[in-house]
Amino acid sequence: MNNPERVERFNLAERLAHWNHAISFCLLFITGAALVFRGWGGLLGPHGVRLARDIHHVLAIPFTFFTLLILLVGTRTTFFAWLKEILTWDKEDVRFLLLFPREFFGLKVKLPEQGKFNAGEKINSLLTIVGSLLMATTGWILLYRNSFSKAVLAWAYPLHDAGALLMGAVIVGHVYLSLLHPNSREAINGMLWGTVTTKFAREHHGRWYRQLMKQQEQRGREGRLTSLSAD
Amino acid sequence: MLNHKLSRRTFLKATAVTTGAMAALGAEGLSLESWQKAAAASPETIVPTICEMCGVKCGILAYVKNGRVVKIEGNPKHPFSNGRLCARGNAGIKTLYDPDRLRQPLKRVGEGKFVPISWEKAIAEIAAKLKELKGKYGPETLVWACHPELIAPWEKRFTEAFGSPNFTGHAPTCYSNRNVAYNVTYGTLPGVDYGNVKYYLSPGRNITEGINNAVVQKIVAARQNGAKLVALDPRLSNFAAWADEWIPLRPGTDGAFLLALIHVLIKENLYDETFVREKTVGFEELKAEVEKYTPEWAEKITGIKAATIVRIAREMAAARPAAVVDPAWHGGLGGMYHNGVQAGRAAACLNALLGNLGAKGGLTFSPGMNLAKEDKLPGPPLPKVTAKRWDGAGGEKWPLAKGLGLIQTLPEVVESGKPYPVKALIVSHMNPVRSCPDSQRFIATLKKLELVVAIDIQMSDTAYHAHYVLPESSYLERSDPFEVAGPTIALRQPVVTPLGDTKGEDEIIKELAEAVGIGEFFNFSLKEYNNTLLAPLGITHEQLEKEGVIKVETTPPKYDKLPTPSGKIELASELMRKAGGPAVPTWEPPLVQPDRSNFRLLHGHVAMHTHTSTQNNGWLHGLMPENELWIHPSRAKELGIKNGDLVEVESSVGRVRIKARVTEGIHPEAVFMAHGFGSMVPTQHLAYNRGANHSLLVPILTANFSGAAAQCEVLVKVKKVG
Amino acid sequence: MARFAMLVDLRKCVGCQACTVACQQQWGLEPEQRFTKVEAIEYGEFPNVSRKFVTTQCMHCDQPPCQEVCPTGATYKRADGIVVIDEDKCVGCQYCLTACPYGARTYNQEKGIVQKCSFCAARLATGKEPACVSTCLGQARIFGDLDDPKSPIVKAASQPGVLKVKGTAMMYIPPKGLNRADLPADATFPSYVSTWKGVVQPAGKALLGLTTGAVLLSLMINSVTHGKSDGEGEGRS
């Protein structure tokens, strides 16, 4: 697939992991909201709330286990690379964050060059990881309520709720930026089909794009060498 | 579901079904919901009857809806319940609907193996066997053992009509000491005016756990009115805990305590002189005997300070005649110890010195009631029984045990063949395998008998070893002979039709009598029986069916002439003298004495269970599924036992395993476990193997003069095993 | 409107558990479920040992934390003071079980719902007393309407020695020798519930609201600025 117009951003395993997490989270959020907001403000009767609860419990499994499983089994190297990158911060990242609100509200701004993941995406990744761990831990405590002391169980409620609301806020921003914001909505293609336009890669993740080109060049040279030696 | 390949068709189908189901869930008129609404709207009938969750027989109201008993409450008209019920009474539904209940007659085909048998066949086979054994060994080869319930007159009648003198109750395992002590003193057993006591001394009775609904209601009210309640008990029973003062005396020393009280009353001239002079005989003899029973002497024996003994005596005297020592039932001096008759005599005499017979708050006799006798029943008079009793009760060896029997001696009699061969046993409302001492020996005895018939509502440990198990209808499914309850007559009548192929015992006896050839002595129905005996009171069985409880005319009890040789209270008892015993109460130490290497094993009751009969009841089992061994912390520490540890308790007779409860509330020389646990019947699914059966540890004994089983005269060793 | 309350004169309680079973019978409870419990507390060393009985149950709190956390509104405090559970609305999530400071709620495995003492509200409607009150052998339990001068509870509550458990509808007369600490504590609102409902919820909702607001604002601004220029996405060099 050497389409000069597009570059690969996320492989199949990464995309499967993302959508597993995203869909299960959204459904967990919606069904969880039914439990915490009294059946979506009374829209659901007790049968609906009970159903929401059952669905919420079932979805805990893909949310807790499948994402990690897919990443570890299907794309181990890039998974660890991603983890490394989101934990690596420099001055450019901080500058990006300070300037980003202008970008968000459509004001003219020159943002510093970013790697594969910009600072905002790094924050999103970190919050998602921490939040997911928090939700999974507190969630399973609530599900296996009889195995924990009353004190542990009690505090699981506000923590689970806090994590949900925090992640909910993060998701709102994340969905907007990846789907709707005119400057960044090309990103969704990266997560749906795996590729983004070369233009998008160059303009939004310049440092990454250059690394990619260097790799491609290197492979090209090696390929010619091999084809030479094959004779 | 995840294994199947999810085809589009399956997916669509599943979606359709799920959607449909969800729609149905929300829809009105769902069959379960609408059925529940209809069920809730159906009428409720209320049937008055009598509880049988213990022996007190409180009047109850059973609420029936759609053919099911939905609630049981106390009958406000009944003088025992006054509209209130204890935990067992409230749990009756779980016994009625116990899935493990006997549903049909059973015939034994092997160890723990039974096959169903029809009533006709069972009765025919039992009758044939009875006739065969009667022919070989005489009618006295039959023993009918029971805890006497309302049907007891019929059981006695059957036994006598059969020609056997051996109708036998449970007395030695409960109250034989008490009965002998009071019979030889007062000529009969008095009751207590609990509601009006001002000072109440309990010699080992645990009213709030060996619970009697009516008595508890009265004693609580008395306490609210300022009565002082004192509990003599080596253990902090719930009654001792609730009472005003707990006297934690050494087990088996109640007699010494009571004799010292008598000593103080006489020495300090605190007794009712007029009453003693006019209503008693033998005072001088008593006075001479108690000279040596000083409080200091008693302190050495009981472990209770002399000053306390003196104080109690003075307090009792100050409250007389509304000061009373409870004759009680089994505890302290009723049947637990070898010296119980002497201790009971001391209590009886102490009551006399307090002058409380017939006084408000004192000892009472029952009012008289004009009931017809059984000779008014249609049919021939009962044949005279000439054979002597199998256990010698009332005979040469046990002259004072008349009417009490010595059920615990069955193994010895069967094993020895003396005084004569006993080959047949009918057991009803009784589980002697666990209520008599030495369970294993009793089981071995059952195996030696040629015919064992058990009549019960559930598979008791005794029924488990019977040749025939005849299922009785539970108390909510049958009628019984009427009950005399204070100044009223009450009736037990069916509330629902029997759930299984069960019968009332009246039916069983009638059919068996017919088959055995003594049907002419049962030429009446239960209704006719009741109506005949009630006729002089002017009420009928049919009236009782409607009203449940009817107040009738009674004559006040007479206290002037007592049924004793002298006609008075015998402080020095002629009957005791004749029987070769001390005429006045004397101190006898208990039969066994524990040392530092062992403990005396005590037993008793709990408020949520009744003997061995309720441990399979769902609610009561839930409250207390097993018993524990109470042990004092200092002794437990020596043995390395912590609260909750599994321990092994061993006596000369057997051993059991049980969880330990380390508590300050027990005398260090004793251990305690509640009676009624350790069921050995696998089909009693809740009760089976839960807790320990103390009767596996108790040797077979007979106390002096009464033949009481003295089940607290047992020493045990305790060791940690888990 | 009525104001129901119960007084337990523990001087008259003999620990017989009749109340426990009467209630189980009245409401068809599973054996593990008890709406009212009888605890025995031992003090002292032999021979100076005592044991006291305490009955506990739903305290029908003035401010019930269970009501706060219920996701369906199934449990609520009625105008007459009784805290009830609408069994049709309960989904058995057991949030309320955790929230109750008195451990008064039980989970019915068979039905998958939470149940608790309702002061026998259904019996009251037919003119009967709560089952535990009717059966108590010692007549230790008194129940009634504090606003009805004829009710037995009014006279009982004015006796000397009455201890009101603050913030609840329950009163006790403790026997001598029973420590206050062994009776149910005065009502406290569990801190985790106040944190959850009073801090986390509003803060979280605010955060969510702010984020959504920012997104909407951004959408509006971008549609305007984007509409002004033509061509493909704003370039950034």
- Within 10 angstroms of residue B109's Cβ, the number of other Cβ atoms is 11
Q: What does the block give as tokens for B562?
A: 């007592």
Do B614 and B635 have their domain in common? yes
> In this structure, is residue B15 part of a structural domain?
no
Do B210 and B225 have their domain in common? yes
Do B166 and B92 have their domain in common? no
Q: What does the block give as tokens for C156?
A: 């009982």
Do B79 and B147 have their domain in common? no
What confidence score (pLDDT) does residue B9 get?
Answer: 57
The CA dihedral of A209, A215, A217, A223, to the nearest 10 degrees, is -150
What distance in Å separates the CA atoms of residue B391 and residue B409, rounded to the nearest whole number? 7
Do B152 and B66 have their domain in common? no
> Is the predicted pLDDT of residue B13 greater than 80, yes or no?
no
What distance in Å separates the CA atoms of residue B68 and residue A110, rounded to the nearest whole number? 82
Do B49 and B121 have their domain in common? no
> In this structure, is residue B318 part of a structural domain?
yes
What distance in Å separates the CA atoms of residue A209 and residue A215, rounded to the nearest whole number? 10
Do B121 and B203 have their domain in common? no
First-to-final CA distance of chain C: 74
Does domain C4-189 bear CATH number 3.40.50.720? Answer: no
CB contact under 8 A, C14 and B217: no
What confidence score (pLDDT) does residue B465 get?
Answer: 98
The CATH architecture annotation of domain A10-195 reads Up-down Bundle (1.20)
The CATH number of residue B680's host domain is 2.40.40.20
Burial B655-682 (b: 16+ CB within 10 A, else e): ebebbbbbbbbbbbbbbbbbbbbbbbbe
What confidence score (pLDDT) does residue A140 get?
Answer: 96
> In this structure, is residue B695 part of a structural domain?
yes
**d(CA B159, nearest CA chain A) in Å:** 58
Q: What does the block give as tokens for B161?
A: 């009509």
- Within 10 angstroms of residue B710's Cβ, the number of other Cβ atoms is 31
- Please, what is the angle between helix A12-36 and helix A150-175, to 10°? 120
**d(CA C62, nearest CA chain A) in Å:** 21
CB contact under 8 A, C16 and B236: no
* pLDDT grade for B331, boundaries at 50, 70 and 90: confident
Q: Lowest mean pLDDT: which of A200-209, B577-586, C19-28?
A: A200-209
Q: Lowest mean pLDDT: which of B29-38, B401-410, B550-559, C174-183?
A: B29-38
Interface of B with A (CB under 8 A): 22, 25-26
Q: Lowest mean pLDDT: which of A168-182, B25-39, B557-571, C215-229?
A: B25-39
> In this structure, is residue B354 part of a structural domain?
yes
> Is the predicted pLDDT of residue B27 greater than 60, yes or no?
no
Q: Lowest mean pLDDT: which of A14-28, A181-195, C67-81, C150-164?
A: A181-195
The domain total for chain B is 4
- Give pLDDT tens digits for B177-209: 999 999 999 999 999 999 999 999 999 999 999
Do B441 and B519 have their domain in common? yes
Do B202 and B351 have their domain in common? yes
Q: The tokens 């570059």 sit on which residue?
A: A7
Do B278 and B186 have their domain in common? yes
What distance in Å separates the CA atoms of residue B176 and residue B708, rounded to the nearest whole number? 5
Domain of B694 in residue numbering reads as 599-700
Do B184 and B242 have their domain in common? yes
Nearest to B83 among C14, C20, C134 (CB): C134
Cβ of B245 under 8 Å from any chain C Cβ?
A: no
Closest by alpha carbon to C138, among B54, B71, B607, B606?
B607
Closest by alpha carbon to B58, among B21, B92, B33, B32?
B92
CB–CB contacts below 8 A, B to C: 119
> Is the predicted pLDDT of residue B3 greater than 50, yes or no?
no
> Is the predicted pLDDT of residue C233 greater than 50, yes or no?
no
pTM of the model: 0.90
Q: Which residues contact B430 (CB under 8 A, 6 or more apart)?
A: B145, B146, B147, B170, B462
Pairing of strands B569-570, B280-281: parallel
* pLDDT grade for C69, boundaries at 50, 70 and 90: very high
- Give pLDDT tens digits for B618-637: 999 999 999 999 999 999 99
Predicted interface score ipTM higher than 0.85: yes
What distance in Å separates the CA atoms of residue B173 and residue B435, rounded to the nearest whole number? 7
What distance in Å separates the CA atoms of residue C119 and residue B595, rounded to the nearest whole number? 53
Angle at A66 between CA A63 and CA A67, to 5 degrees: 75
Nearest to B664 among C17, C42, C134 (CB): C42
What confidence score (pLDDT) does residue A231 get?
Answer: 45
Do B265 and B402 have their domain in common? no
The CATH number of residue B166's host domain is 3.40.50.740
What distance in Å separates the CA atoms of residue C77 and residue B678, rounded to the nearest whole number? 46
> In this structure, is residue B10 part of a structural domain?
no
- At A67, which amino acid appears? T
| Complete edge-to-edge strand list for the sheet that includes strand B113-116 | B113-116, B106-110, B468-471, B451-456, B424-428, B142-146, B167-168
What distance in Å separates the CA atoms of residue B106 and residue B548, rounded to the nearest whole number? 34
What distance in Å separates the CA atoms of residue B471 and residue B453, rounded to the nearest whole number? 11
Residue B350: its H or E element: helix B340-353
What confidence score (pLDDT) does residue C228 get?
Answer: 54
CB contact under 8 A, A51 and B22: yes
Neighbours of chain C (3+ CB pairs under 8 A): A, B
Q: Average pLDDT of B116-123?
A: 98
- Give residues 579 to 608 of B whose Cβ lies within 8 Å of C: 607-608
- At A196, which amino acid appears? V
Q: Average pLDDT of A72-91?
A: 93
What confidence score (pLDDT) does residue A184 get?
Answer: 85
Q: Within its chain, how far is the Cα of B675 from the centroid?
A: 11
Q: Average pLDDT of B639-649?
A: 98
SS3 for B174-225 is CCHHHHHHHHHHHCCCCEECHHHCCEEEEECCCCCCCCCHHHHHHHHHHHHC
What confidence score (pLDDT) does residue B2 get?
Answer: 44
What distance in Å separates the CA atoms of residue C86 and residue C72, rounded to the nearest whole number? 10
What confidence score (pLDDT) does residue C230 get?
Answer: 44
> In this structure, is residue B619 part of a structural domain?
yes
What does the domain layout of chain C look like in residue ranges?
4-189, 197-227
